[in-house]
């Protein structure tokens, strides 16, 4: 029997003024918010790298402020994903990985490549892009996730390509975009986007129970699970993450 996978639950970012007094204690200094969040959650997805690749000093600072076992997922930059020809992204990928993301060390989790809703599936171009994604950094394996938001990605060839490369497809709980439920890698990556402000825990208790059960199932198969509460009523995201974490013990 395979070793059970690890389940990590988190939120998108950590700087959000409405969390002050709801998630963060009222007197919590802003400079200590990452330290606080990383001791009440087990992962954070960084959206800022979609717009700006960041600096080595920032990644080192985030690494050092967070406890052992904590993980950051990063959203890959739009100058890689939002281009007509993905097969020509080699230079852009090299640039992204040269700007300090690897300073996170063991705290670097999966890298999310989110495509525009208008981006359609082109098998040859997409296959070339997956070939470009680095598989390792030194002796460390890199994990990649694809978030496709156009219905054309429902093609069987999409899942086959991901399985061939061991790349996960993002499971996004959002009525606006198609859902992709295949398991194509040794880990599962979820972005839950339906938090409601009228729900104290973002999602109704029965929905959290269901997500907890699914996460346990994947972990029992030996897959690591990364689950983030993203957007929706963002003010409820930390409460949702903590409520799910409690259900999973």
What residue segments make up the domains of the chain, in order of their start? 7-248
| CATH code for residues 7-248 | 3.20.20.410
Distance between CA atoms of residues 157 and 130, nearest Å: 13
pLDDT at 1: 45
- Paired sense of beta strands 7-12 and 171-173, if any: unpaired
Distance between CA atoms of residues 49 and 19, nearest Å: 21
pLDDT at 52: 86
How high does pLDDT run on average in the chain?
A: 96
pLDDT at 54: 83
pLDDT at 242: 98
Query: Out of 34-48, 133-147, 199-213, which region has the weakest mean confidence (pLDDT)?
Result: 133-147
What 3-state class would DSSP assign to 166? coil
Neighbouring C-beta atoms of residue 216, cutoff 10 Å: 17
pLDDT at 137: 85
Per-residue pLDDT tens over the stretch 156-192:
999 999 999 999 999 999 999 988 999 999 999 999 9
- Say yes or no to pLDDT of 37 above 50: yes
Whole-prediction pTM: 0.96
Distance between CA atoms of residues 62 and 77, nearest Å: 19
- Paired sense of beta strands 7-12 and 43-46, if any: parallel
pLDDT at 140: 85
- Say yes or no to pLDDT of 57 above 60: yes
Q: 88 pLDDT band (50/70/90 cuts)?
A: very high
pLDDT at 53: 77
Q: 143 pLDDT band (50/70/90 cuts)?
A: very high
């Amino acid at each position: 029997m395979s070793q059970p996978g690890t389940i990590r639950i988190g939120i998108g970012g950590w700087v959000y003024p409405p969390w002050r007094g709801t998630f963060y204690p009222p007197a919590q200094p802003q400079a200590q918010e990452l330290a606080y969040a990383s001791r009440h959650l087990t992962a954070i997805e960084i959206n800022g790298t979609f717009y700006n690749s960041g600096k080595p000093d920032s990644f080192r600072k985030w690494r050092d402020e967070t406890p052992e076992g904590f993980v950051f997922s990063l959203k890959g930059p739009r100058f890689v994903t939002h281009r007509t020809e993905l097969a020509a992204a080699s230079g852009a990928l090299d640039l992204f990985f040269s700007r300090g993301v690897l300073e996170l060390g063991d705290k670097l989790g999966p890298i999310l490549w989110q495509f525009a809703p208008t981006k359609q599936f082109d098998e040859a171009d997409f296959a070339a892009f997956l070939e470009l994604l680095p598989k390792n950094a030194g002796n460390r394996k890199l994990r990649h996730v694809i978030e496709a938001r156009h219905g054309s990605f429902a093609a069987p060839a999409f899942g086959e390509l991901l399985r061939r490369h061991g790349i996960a497809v993002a499971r996004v709980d959002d009525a606006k975009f198609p859902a992709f439920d295949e398991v194509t890698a040794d880990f599962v990556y979820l972005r839950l986007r339906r938090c409601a402000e009228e729900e104290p825990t973002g999602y109704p208790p029965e929905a959290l129970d269901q997500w907890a059960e699914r996460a346990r199932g994947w972990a029992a198969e030996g897959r690591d699970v990364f689950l983030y509460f993203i957007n929706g009523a963002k003010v409820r995201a930390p409460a949702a993450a903590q409520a799910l974490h409690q259900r999973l013990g």
